[in-house]
Structure 1
Amino acid sequence: MTGAAAVMVAVFSVFGTLSVQDLQRVGVGLAVAVLPAAGFVRMVPRRPRS
């Protein structure tokens, strides 16, 4: 996971601690969506530059 993805997950997870349920759902949903996306980006090999 990249550093940016870790920061995004941390920030979105804070939304999960709020008392407003709509913001909780959005924050948890975004945090859960960023984790596999960041992992997938790191697993895909890049083409070598010529």
Structure 2
Amino acid sequence: MDYLVIVSDNYIIIEKIRFSYRDEALYYLECRRKQGYFATIKSIKL
């Protein structure tokens, strides 16, 4: 299973990054949130 982190700023998507590991995705999510962006995570089943 892969994880997709979607980062947006003022409702405009600025990044979509795919991670293979959940821990990496969650770490990146937290980093972007600390920078003031809105970030969500989605699981992708292949």
Q: State the TM-score, normalizing by the size of structure 2.
A: 0.38
Name the larger-Rg structure: 1
Q: Please identify which structure carries the higher helix content.
A: 1
Q: State the TM-score, normalizing by the size of structure 1.
A: 0.36
Greater relative contact order: 1 or 2 (C-alpha under 8 angstroms, separation 6 or more)?
Answer: 2
Q: Please identify which structure carries the higher strand content.
A: 2
